[in-house]
Amino acid sequence: MKNKTIKKALAIGMSVLMLASTFTPVSVQAAGGWKQNKTGWWWEEDNGSYPTKSWKNIGGTWYYFDGNGYMVTGWLKLSSGWYYLTESGAMATGWVQVGNIWYYMNESGVMQVDTWIGNNYVDGSGAWIPGKAKTQTGWVKSGNRWWYSHSDGSYTTNDWEVINGSWYYFDGSGWMVTGWLKRPSGWYYLTGSGAMATGWVQVGSTWYYMNESGVMQADTWIGDNYVGGSGAWIPGKVKTQAGWVKSGNRWWYRHADGGYTMNGWEMINGTWYYFDGSGWMVTGWKQVNGSWYYMDASGAMVKNAWAGDYYLGADGAMATNTWIGQYYVDGSGKWIPNKQKEPEKQEIALQSISLNQTSLEMWAGESETLEVTYNPSNTTVDKKIIWSSSDESVATVEDGKVKTVGKGEATITAEVDGKKASCTITAKEYYTLNVAVTDFLPVGRSEFVQVYAPDGSWYGGAEEVKMYSLNEDIAEFNGNYVKGISDGIATIVVEGDGRIGTATVVVKTAQKLQNPYFEQSVYNMKMGDKRQLEVSTLPENAWISAYGWKSSNPKVAEVDWDGVVRAMSEGETTITCSVQEGSLEAGFSPDNKNPYITVSCTIKVEGVGDNTELDKIEWKYTGSDTRFEHVKVGDIITPNIQVYPVTYPYDLNDVEVSIVKSGHSGPAYDTGFEAEDGIVEIVDGNKIKICKPGTAWVNVVLDGKKTQVILQCLEN
């Protein structure tokens, strides 16, 4: 709890010494549950952490803990409103008395303001106002006029309101309106009760019609009844019947309102007719919007039929440049006698397509071309191919050429006439990039970028491959070095021989290291467990350039240089980590003169864990030199391995060994190597016999996990 408190306090500028003087928790009983010191109460989780600036439900009751983790009592102001925490810290709900005043908290604990709680009113401060009576909703008469009171005493003005299913209108003073009412939408009639009228309504001796929205209708037919421009019903006015009218030798069609169609089509009793600019029915040929039509003597549009040497289609338009059965009409629409129709070409449907590859493994940056085969090959369909990729961040495709642009898996699909075939592309990055940083690359710092081939060998520098950044505003390259420019995440790329490799670099502005620490002082583990330890820093952006890990008792728990702890046997050990703050001027030790700061924690190993999944194996060297196993000619060695976890069950007979190479090296061990067979040999299945002086590289494999030992074979 101390560390977290320090971390929070420093974020707002307080020093470690100031914080330590204001909060020192006392030692209490076992982890988990309520804890108390002279400052107050807090809740500690089983792992030693505690809630801060947050709510926590404990035993069905809500509590709030401040920024230092202490339980809050009394009034609490949050963005959601005011809360009241009782002396026990429990969040209050319902009615609560504070001093002489009553307040009401809803089921979420928020104080209610300016509202009615049943028949009780709380004001803007949340305080209950005794004696304030709740106004009843209903009609109120004053003299000969009426208004409608809402439950809060308010009333509607200059607007409509629906009351018990009827619409009423209230004037600017809130009085109910009766009689005629003019609104922007039209005239309305409010009955003696104030209710808005709909349908037929008699006012005096005159009838009017109001639609379903209450608006008076004017100058229109309501069924067979006509209302004039004033809205009044005109008795005795007969509705004109629609029908054909002949004038001389010509016809026109009168609508029910006396109107008629001009310069356009009209369907009458299921048949299309065309009327000219004066409204007369057209017969014979007529061009409309670029197409010719033919109307017979009755005026009906002809369709699906011949008119002399011309054919009218299903829409009535004259056909052109096409075959009508065995007859051909030219561009003018006229039938061309004796023109013979060529036999129709037989259509051969496409059954399926296939690709020359169904799966490909490629290095990112490489290209391959996919080819489509048609079944049957003599299909007559359009053979246009539509190519697509399921993930263009992995692979793109254009005209069958596939290019991998990143690692991952993508499906390339070809589609022809609805038939599809696909190829699965698995892309791997050829190059592996390693940037020599710990947690992040500081702004202003340049670091060497190591490039490795798939076999782990160093590929070379910028003179052999192209190295660049996709985010040069964050990180940029200078030869083999990448430099931090500004805070952010940059993607760096290596290209060579048509292949690529990528890595991400986190760039931050480094801050002065003030205090490294472990989140816990004690970590409990079981034999076979593995735990990643991490050193937290204050501030978070402090730059650690070097870590050094050590276990005081590796027989109990080992720790590797990445801070991974593996429990080996029951007992206790101290894990220490030495950290060194980075220096933009000097870089790493020995040039870096910043001191190492050591932090430690205790590992307690009790009991046996249930982890039986093999993680890795290592060769257990018998001497202090962990680069070589020193042996003598004539020795027969049994594989001496350590399995991780230690709880992994195995049989030594399942261990496989194989000779990688053997020979003689120069003085620098890895220079001037001359191969020579027969220095060692495998006997009795998996034992190694030392036959003559030299150096031998031997692979040791157990259940798919591999390690390698280098044997320095000396004369006996």
* Tens-place pLDDT, residues 537-565: 888 888 887 789 999 999 999 999 999 99
Query: Does the pLDDT at position 402 exceed 70?
Result: yes
Cis peptide before 376 (omega within 30 of 0): yes
Whole-number pLDDT of residue 586: 53
Whole-number pLDDT of residue 666: 62
Q: What is the DSSP letter of 276?
A: -
Query: Pick from 680, 687, 686: which is nearest to 711 by CA?
Result: 680
Match domain 515-586+593-608 to its CATH number in 1.20.1260.10, 2.60.40.1080, 3.30.70.20, 1.50.10.10: 2.60.40.1080
Whole-number pLDDT of residue 154: 86
Query: Does the pLDDT at position 669 exceed 60?
Result: no
Cis peptide before 649 (omega within 30 of 0): no
In the chain, what is the greatest distance between 2 CA atoms, to the nearest angstrom? 138
Whole-number pLDDT of residue 459: 67
User: What class does CATH assign to 34-129?
Assistant: mainly beta
Q: What is the mean pLDDT of the chain?
A: 89
Identify the weakest region by mean pLDDT among 57-66, 190-199, 545-554. Answer: 545-554
Rounded to two decimals, what is the model's pTM?
0.43
Query: Pick from 428, 433, 407: which is nearest to 494 by CA?
Result: 433
Cα gap 298→246, rounded to integer Å: 12
135 vs 224, higher pLDDT: 224
Whole-number pLDDT of residue 25: 31
Whole-number pLDDT of residue 183: 95
What is the pLDDT confidence band of residue 295, given thresholds at 50, 70 and 90? very high
Q: 352-428 with 616-714: one CATH topology?
A: yes
Whole-number pLDDT of residue 7: 32
Domain 432-508: give its CATH architecture: Sandwich (2.60)
Query: Pick from 590, 607, 625: which is nearest to 709 by CA?
Result: 625
Q: What is the DSSP letter of 241?
A: P
Q: Give domain limits for the chain.
A: 34-129, 145-234, 243-336, 352-428, 432-508, 515-586+593-608, 616-714
What is the pLDDT confidence band of residue 591, given thresholds at 50, 70 and 90? low
Query: Does the pLDDT at position 142 exceed 90?
Result: no
Cα gap 30→44, rounded to integer Å: 10
Query: Does the pLDDT at position 335 exceed 90?
Result: yes
Query: Does the pLDDT at position 659 exceed 50?
Result: yes
Whole-number pLDDT of residue 23: 31
Cα gap 28→296, rounded to integer Å: 108
Query: Does the pLDDT at position 11 exceed 80?
Result: no
**Strand ranges for 185-304 from DSSP E:** 186-190, 199-203, 206-210, 220-222, 225-227, 243-247, 250-254, 264-268, 271-275, 284-288, 291-295
Residue 684, token pair as written in the block: 């009795």
Domain 352-428: give its CATH architecture: Sandwich (2.60)
Mean pLDDT of 623-634: 89
Query: Does the pLDDT at position 65 exceed 60?
Result: yes
Mean pLDDT of 359-377: 94
110 contacts 83 by C-beta, under 8 angstroms: yes
Domain 145-234: give its CATH architecture: Ribbon (2.10)
Match domain 243-336 to its CATH number in 3.90.230.10, 3.30.930.10, 2.60.120.330, 2.10.270.10: 2.10.270.10
Task: Write down the CATH number for the domain with range 616-714.
Answer: 2.60.40.1380
Query: Does the pLDDT at position 15 exceed 60?
Result: no
Mean pLDDT of 488-513: 90
